[in-house]
Amino acid sequence: MNPYIKIHPDITKALESNQAVVALESTIISHGMPYPQNVKMANEVENIIKNEGAVPATIAIINGIIKVGLTHEEIEFLAKEKDVLKVSKRDFGYALSQKRTGATTVSATMLIAEMAGIKVFATGGIGGVHRDAQNTFDISRDLEELSNVNVAVVCAGAKSILDLGLTLEFLETKGVEVLGYQTKELPAFYSRESGFNLDYRMETPEDIAKLLHAKWSIGLKGGIVIANPIPQAYSMDKKSIQMVIDRALEDAKKEGIKGKDTTPYLLAKVKELTKGESLEANLELVFNNARLAAQIAKFYVNIE
Ligand code: PSU
Ligand code: MN
């Protein structure tokens, strides 16, 4: 294996014996949530996946080494330390050669999952086409990786800090299937509704596993988005969260926030403006996604 990549022995063993493995990203830990809730989330997500009978693989770059599977200390470090890079595809060369520590976005985590041979990945929300992208060109690298990399991403849709309509159009252009898990509507992260319809509603993890297998077995490249709505009990009111998001977007504009700082800025602002309510919803939807991802991964390894 390449000296820049270290896969935890438990994960190597699981992959070699065709056990289900679920990849997890780390930007959500370092740049998506405050301490200490982020550590609690990261540990709990791993436990949920284990309880479902799959093996969790949290991914990050630690001192210039790509790690698939982290220790508790490494997770704690990513959660606490301020000087952690946000690594998407364009940041690998710098992070590895300068021996930096970096949290991986959906984009970077997908690339690493593919290198390791992991097919299913759970996260909170994917990046997408930002509002006003026609002027800023701000389109998340996540969408490019979704078009190129054979990894399925379970998420709660995307936040309406993004332009969800344009995000769906872009995914269509890139040939990325977007499935609703027990829903026909794209969920909008904090709320179950977005007003955007999806083409396909899938009812079971088994059916989703079969879909992944069918797509990849004919040699089609690219990811699949599995949109899993936040559980009803934690779903926030669509209108009020929208008002908060609009306010956060205005503040970002006023403060001149740009580029890779945009998403972390908006996430922190939304949390501040909802006095933490959004954080609880965020935690619950990540747990829900981890559970579904583990179930899909288990069916998938039995098809292969
Ligand atoms: N959306 C969230 N929480 C997150 C992110 C997105 O609700 O933590 C993170 C993910 O790691 C995603 C990244 O890949 O932000 C996208 O960043 P950008 O918009 O800069 O591409
Ligand atoms: Mn961006």
Query: Which numbered ligand comes closest to the C-alpha of 86?
Result: 1
Task: Find out whether the beta carbon of 130 lies less than 6 Å from any atom of ligand 1.
Answer: no
Distance between CA atoms of 4 and 12, rounded to whole angstroms? Answer: 16
For residue 177, what pLDDT is reported? 98
Q: What pLDDT is recorded for position 260?
A: 95
Cβ-based neighbours of 117, under 8 Å, separated by 6 or more: 15
Give the closest residue (by CA) to ligand 1 atom 21.
140
Give the ligand with the smallest distance to the CA of 111.
1
pLDDT above 90 as % of the chain? 98
Any atom of ligand 1 within 6 Å of the Cβ of 167: no
Query: Can you tell me the mean pLDDT for 262-285?
Result: 93
Q: Is 278 in the pocket of ligand 1 (CB under 6 A)?
A: no
What is the set of domains in the chain, with CATH numbers?
5-303 (3.40.1790.10)
* Whether the model pTM is above 0.85: yes
- Cβ(46) – ligand 1 distance below 6 Å: no
Q: Which residues are known catalytic residues?
A: 25, 159
* Ligand 1 atom 10, closest CA: 105
Q: Confidence class of residue 304 from pLDDT cuts 50, 70 and 90?
A: low
- Residue 127 alpha carbon to ligand 1 centre in Å: 5
Q: How far is the CA of 304 from the centre of ligand 1 (A)?
A: 31
